[in-house]
Structure 1
Amino acid sequence: MAELRTSFPNIYLASKSYINARGEVRLGQSGIGWKPATDQDIQTVKASKINGISAETGLLVIQSAEIQQIIWQRVGRMYGIRIVLKNGTNHRLDGFDRDVYDDLKEAIGKYFHGITLENRELNVKGYNWGKAEFEGTNLVFRTENKPTFDLPLETVANTNLVGKSEVSIELQSAPEIAGKKRKNQFDELVEIRFYVPGVVAKDMTNKDSGGSDQEQEQSETSAAQVFYETVKSKADLGQISGKSIVNFSEVLCLTPRGRYNIDMYPKFLRLRGKTYDYKIMYEHVLKLFLVTKPDEMHVLFVINLSPPIRQGQTRYPFLVFQFLRDEEKEVVLNLDSETIKDKYDNQIMKRYEEPLYKTISELFKVFVAKKPIVPDTYRTIHGAQGAKCSLKANEGILYPLNRGILFVPKPAQFVAYSEINSVVFSRVGSGSASSGRTFDIVINSHTGTDIQFSSFNREEFDGLFNYLKEKNVKVLSDISEKATVSYAETDQSSDGEGSARGAQDSDEDESSVDEDFVAGSESDVPEEYNEDYSSENDE
């Protein structure tokens, strides 16, 4: 005899953000199942890589013995249920009509012993002061003992402790939709900040041990620190399973400024600083650059990221690391010979004994599967790979490369030649002695955005101008521009000068010395300031 089942059509799978797959939900004695409606829905859920989804059929099967709790609540698509499993995993199904609540509650009570459908009412009053609780892999924020919102921690990209009482949580970016412009992409939440005041005991079991005040202070830590560590562990950002392949300690980073530890894993790298901690997937690396500074003592290794990392409101699409050119360090990878041969095709070595920048660039080349871009033929008058200049108030170095222009260290910029409409060299023919020693360039892009680099050494003009011209970049210069004046302007200026000269002459006439005046002579008309002056009223 076939198993009795209750089904609900046109239900969306919402276990992962930004998925639009519809199917049918079936409840029975064995558990809960969701079946995609169309072939396109099958392909969508297969690509989502959700735990529990069959790689062959796209079916979601949840055994009744795995279910711990089923919650009914209002969602964006009408009503939905959240299925909480005993291992902490959550699955979401949206699109239920309000009228099916009674039927769904009856089916759950009939098929699953000891489990009832919990009706969760949300608090939508807009309060922002409440209590944060961790339920499995979800962060639930409650106000007035009612949930206001919940945050799936698997969507967390990064978290940082900002100050003593503030924790920021950065969320993963929405996937870009092929064929759609940026303005038609998803609107998305990118960051949430929590203010977590107060302190908590490190060991709650010793809370009433009666120790000294100093011991109690040492046994306490800030509540924000505990909240931060909990988010890291729940979101799998802290103790990452498996050993890292290699670790580099205290690497100097110019952008963003600070020293970071770099831990490299097979599919991602971890960037750990004193305040910020990042997990960067290798697939998010767009370009790698390796350039030498003009002092010939330091080497810059630049990583271009998309999406960029963030520190507060500031985005950093480029990471700029600086190394001493002659600094050598022995590096041993945590890989055996078989793994190096089978997985990496002997492209990396077990042991490195060479300058540190070479070791890091070679490892990134293999793990990221992108070759670092290096300067080709351009050289300054002093033989350097880049020319010193300024971007707004920031001094830096401009590197003309084979396919674009790179400016480092801050703010790092890369402009491909294919994006440039023209490059204008300005202040080249300036007459003043001070400004004649330097010149500026303005890059006009096809999008209408202009970038101005200033304070180039005047002697770099010929080399930079000719190099860009060789790369088929449209270059313009004001060195041949001359000031031209029309006849009408000449007449107007002449008239203006004549009238001005006439006014000046009249002023000179008015202020000229009176030849008839003789100092000390008696005046025919007595003045009020004369001592001998007397009026009729005085009489």
Structure 2
Amino acid sequence: VSNTNAQKNEAILQFHQNEDAAVSLMEIRFHVPSSGPDQDTDPAQEFVQRVLNKADVISASEADAICTLTELNCVTPRGRYDVKFFTDFIDLHGKTFDYKISYDHILRLFLLPHKDGRQMYFVMAIDPPMKQGNTRYPFLIVLFNIEEIISVDLTISDKTREKFGERIEKLDESISGPYHEVVSRICRTVLDKKITVPGNFTTSGGAKCLPCSYKASSGFLYPLERGFLFVHKPPIHVLFSDIGHVKFDRSSQGTKSFDFEIDHKNGTKYVFSGIEKVEQERLAEFVKTKGISITKSDKAFAKLDMDNEVDHDPYAERMKQEGREKDEIDSDDDEEDEDFQGGSESEEDIDFDSDASIDSSESGSESDRVKKTKGSDDENKKKKKKESSSKDKSRDESSKKSSKRSSGKESSKDSA
């Protein structure tokens, strides 16, 4: 058993991870019902105490604590915790949950300045991560106010000197100063690990981080000397050696920002969106100095694919084909008109007036058109007159013939 916890009617037991086993039991919970309202003690707490008496649980008394830090503002996991440093582990005691972190599980330490310049992030990378139910916390992130001053008294026993050796002598029995500096000194000495701080990268505004968003959460991306670190929700740490390539994409949020995509060698993609456009050149130069390859954006290829689809649009092709067919029909009509020869006159027989003005030619053409229209009207009238006269003659002839027939019949009757 590595840790125990009791809350209401529930007792929680956590176990050490078996590195050799593919599957191992990490946590088990017991529901401990209360016997009645008159019960003075918590049954879940009694059950946990019985387990602690029998199991080999990492525990220590208050006297063995090297130092105690009260009311630390943790953003991951969220809440305020009292932190105690012991010879083998760190104990976090909160209002709802308690955590124990072994020194062997702490991999890296980071001290990162906030963009506003008034706060500091202190980050611990933990493996295996802290667990609370199904939630894992691979990072412990504490937010400090730079102006907050604290004084901490250290208790260094013979057991502590034997454990840490000469490096514990670097700490004074009483340390005072800004809260983040005091915690950094204690962790660096007790854990014997270096603290990573931002390198030479700076933004156009002089900050060490890039405000951006990962999925729906906003945070800060820190370009460090050996990797990128995003805080704080969710914390993401990617080493340069694990990066396959990066991309710079146009942001969907507007033209004044861009997206920065990191493709991990294991296939995972991290897209940090909403970075200001003015920082793109600085970030690209930083990436080049670290020897990371930059590939073209997928959005550019998508745009090319869309252009190709437009060029091969079937509807547009059909409309173009109909237009070509219509042009061919019009050209055929023009060719038929050219084959027709209306007269025997050649261009040599036609006299051109080089001194004629545009107005005179237009007026002449208008007068010609008027004359032609008048002549055609006169011809139509003449034709109508001829047709009417011919009809009148035919009527007269038919009437004469009918009169002769009637007179012949009458004469035949008289003779009879």
Q: Tell me if both proteins adopt one fold, taking TM over 0.5 as the criterion.
A: yes
Question: What are the equivalent positions in structure 2 for 1:79-90 lying under 5 Å apart?
Answer: none
Amino acid at match of 2:17: S
Please say if 1:489 is aligned against 2:311. yes
Q: Which residue of structure 2 aligns with residue 82 of structure 1? A: none
Q: Which residue of structure 1 aligns with residue 235 of structure 2? A: 412
Q: Which residue of structure 1 aligns with residue 117 of structure 2? A: 296
SS at match of 1:167: strand
SS at match of 1:187: coil
Please say if 1:262 is aligned against 2:107. no
Please say if 1:327 is aligned against 2:123. no
Q: Which residue of structure 1 aligns with residue 271 of structure 2? A: 452
**Counterparts of 1:377 and 1:165, CA distance in 2:** 53
CA 259–491 in structure 1, closer or farther in 2 if over 3 Å, else same: closer
SS at match of 1:302: strand
Please say if 1:188 is aligned against 2:7. no
Q: Which residue of structure 2 aligns with residue 226 of structure 1? A: 46
**Counterparts of 2:174 and 2:319, CA distance in 1:** 81
Is this contact kept in 2: 1:199–1:221, CA < 8 A?
no
Question: 243, 257, 263: which is aligned to 2:64?
Answer: 243
Q: Which residue of structure 2 aligns with residue 475 of structure 1? A: 294
Question: What are the equivalent positions in structure 2 for 1:28-47 lying under 5 Å apart?
Answer: none
Q: Deviations over 1:46-88 (max 9, x none)?
A: xxxxxxxxxxxxxxxxxxxxxxxxxxxxxxxxxxxxxxxxxxx
Question: 2, 7, 16: which is aligned to 1:172?
Answer: 16
Q: Deviations over 1:71-120 (max 9, x none)?
A: xxxxxxxxxxxxxxxxxxxxxxxxxxxxxxxxxxxxxxxxxxxxxxxxxx
SS at match of 2:316: helix
CA 492–339 in structure 1, closer or farther in 2 if over 3 Å, else same: same
Q: CA deviation at 1:319?
A: 0.3
Greater share of residues in strand: 1
**Counterparts of 2:40 and 2:311, CA distance in 1:** 81
Higher relative contact order (CA 8 A, sep 6+): 2
Please say if 1:198 is aligned against 2:34. yes
Question: What are the equivalent positions in structure 2 for 1:243-392 lying under 5 Å apart?
Answer: 243-335=64-156, 339=161, 343-344=166-167, 346-392=169-215
Q: CA deviation at 1:172?
A: 0.3
CA 281–495 in structure 1, closer or farther in 2 if over 3 Å, else same: same
Q: Which residue of structure 1 aligns with residue 246 of structure 2? A: 423
SS at match of 1:220: coil
Cα RMSD for the two superposed structures: 2.9
SS at match of 1:472: coil
SS at match of 2:80: strand
Is this contact kept in 1: 2:168–2:189, CA < 8 A?
no
CA 471–243 in structure 1, closer or farther in 2 if over 3 Å, else same: same
Q: CA deviation at 1:415?
A: 0.5
Question: What are the equivalent positions in structure 2 for 1:520-531 lying under 5 Å apart?
Answer: none
**Counterparts of 1:324 and 1:459, CA distance in 2:** 29
Q: CA deviation at 1:168?
A: 1.9
Is this contact kept in 2: 1:161–1:275, CA < 8 A?
no
Q: CA deviation at 1:322?
A: 0.6
Question: What are the equivalent positions in structure 2 for 1:51-90 lying under 5 Å apart?
Answer: none
CA 406–342 in structure 1, closer or farther in 2 if over 3 Å, else same: closer
Amino acid at match of 1:168: I
Q: CA deviation at 1:487?
A: 10
**Counterparts of 1:241 and 1:411, CA distance in 2:** 34
Is this contact kept in 2: 1:233–1:239, CA < 8 A?
no
Structure 2, unaligned runs of 5 or more: 324-416
Q: Deviations over 1:334-387 (max 9, x none)?
A: 127994995326322222121111111111111111101100011122111111
**Counterparts of 1:239 and 1:339, CA distance in 2:** 16
Is this contact kept in 2: 1:267–1:367, CA < 8 A?
no
Amino acid at match of 2:217: N
Amino acid at match of 2:88: K
Amino acid at match of 1:167: A
What TM-score do the two structures reach when normalised by structure 2? Answer: 0.69
Q: CA deviation at 1:159?
A: 2.0
Q: CA deviation at 1:452?
A: 1.6
SS at match of 2:12: strand
CA 388–225 in structure 1, closer or farther in 2 if over 3 Å, else same: same
CA 474–331 in structure 1, closer or farther in 2 if over 3 Å, else same: same
CA 490–226 in structure 1, closer or farther in 2 if over 3 Å, else same: same
Q: Deviations over 1:277-311 (max 9, x none)?
A: 22211111001010011011110000011111101
What TM-score do the two structures reach when normalised by structure 1? Answer: 0.54
**Counterparts of 2:198 and 2:27, CA distance in 1:** 37
Q: Which residue of structure 2 aligns with residue 182 of structure 1? A: none
CA 295–486 in structure 1, closer or farther in 2 if over 3 Å, else same: closer
Amino acid at match of 2:105: H
SS at match of 1:343: helix
**Counterparts of 1:495 and 1:246, CA distance in 2:** 80
The range that moved more, 236-245 or 375-384, is 236-245
Amino acid at match of 2:167: Y
**Counterparts of 1:381 and 1:497, CA distance in 2:** 53
Q: CA deviation at 1:255?
A: 0.3
CA 231–401 in structure 1, closer or farther in 2 if over 3 Å, else same: same
Structure label with greater radius of gyration = 2
The range that moved more, 241-250 or 364-373, is 241-250
